[in-house]
Chain A
C-alpha cells in the first residue's frame, strides 16, 4: 500500500459517506403533471382511433393478372380447335391432305426419285472387282 492509498477511504468509510449522499425527491405535483400528460395523450389517441398502438394499414390486394382474365377465352379456343381436329380426322380429309403433302415434299427435296432411276445402280467398286485377273494376284 502506498502513502497515497493510506489516506484513501476504506470500504466501510465509503459506505458511511455514500449514506450521506443526496436523496432527491420529484418536484411537488409530479403525479398531477403526469396525469395531465397521460390524459392529453389519451385524447389524441382517441381522436386517432381510440388506441395507443398504431394499427397496420390493410394490404391493398394486387391487381388481377391479365392471363387470368383471358383464361376462359383461351380455354374456349383450345376446345374449339380440338373439336375441329377430331371432326377432320374422323372424315379422312386430314389423312388425304397429309399424304398429298408428303408426296409433294419428296418431289421437292429429291427430284431424281420421281421414277425408278436407281435401278442398275451398284455399290462403288463392284465392277472393278468382277473384272480382276485372278492370276495377277498370285
Chain B
C-alpha cells in the first residue's frame, strides 16, 4: 500500500505530520507545511529570544528571522529531532549578534522593584515578583542565561541543552551552577522577601 503524503493547500493534513515530513515538504517550498512548523515551535523560540534579549521589543522580529533561516534551507536539518535545538541555537546567535551591537533596553520592572521599596510594601503581587526574578536573570552573562533558559524554562535535558549550545555536558553544568549562584547573589536578602511574598499570596 502506497504511503500518501499530505498535499499542498490542504492545511489540516499537515497537523498530524511528523517534523521530518514537514521539513521535506518545506524544502519543496510547501508554505502550509512550513506554517505548521512555525506553529509548533514559535512559542519556544520566542521565549528563548525574549529571555536572552531581556524582553526586548525586537524579540518578535528575531524569532521570525530564525524561522527565515530555516525556510532558506530546511534540508540542512539532517534529523528532525534536532530541529528544536537548531532553532534555539540560531535564535540565540541572532540575539547575541543583534544586541551586542546596541545596548539592550532595561526591563521596566528592574527599576520599579529593585529600588528598596519592596520591604516597605505589605503586599507584593506575583507579577511583580516575576519581574524581579526576570531582572535578576537579565543580569547574568549571556551563556549562563542561555543555559538556565534551556534547562529550567524550556525543560531540556542537560544533554540536549549541551548539544544545542555545542558544548560538553560538564561545561553546561558549570554554566548552570554559576548561573544559580549568580542569581542567589543578585537576589540576596530580597530573595527571601520575594519568597515570603509568594507564599503569602498562596495562602
Contact = CB atoms under 8 A, between A and B. Distances in A.
A14 B191 contact: yes
B173 interface: no
Contacts, number: 104
B188 interface: yes
B130 A34 contact: no
Interface string A19-50: 01111111100110111011101100100000
Q: Give chain A's interface secondary structure class.
A: helix
B192 A37 contact: no
A34 B67 contact: yes
Given A8-B185, A21-B153, A38 B35 contact: yes
A35 B35 contact: yes
B134 interface: yes
Contacts of A41: 68, 71
Count class of interface residues, chain A = 20 to 34
Nearest to A51: B29
Contacts of A22: 55, 130-131, 133-134
28 contacts: A8-B191, A9-B183, A9-B191, A17-B187, A17-B194, A17-B198, A18-B153, A18-B183, A20-B133, A20-B198, A21-B130, A22-B131, A23-B47, A24-B55, A25-B43, A26-B46, A26-B63, A27-B60, A31-B39, A34-B38, A34-B42, A35-B35, A38-B34, A38-B35, A39-B31, A42-B31, A52-B71, A52-B73
Interface of B: 29, 31, 34-35, 38-39, 42-43, 46-47, 50-51, 55, 59-60, 63-64, 67-68, 71-73, 126, 129-131, 133-134, 137, 152-153, 180, 183-185, 187-189, 191-192, 194-195, 198
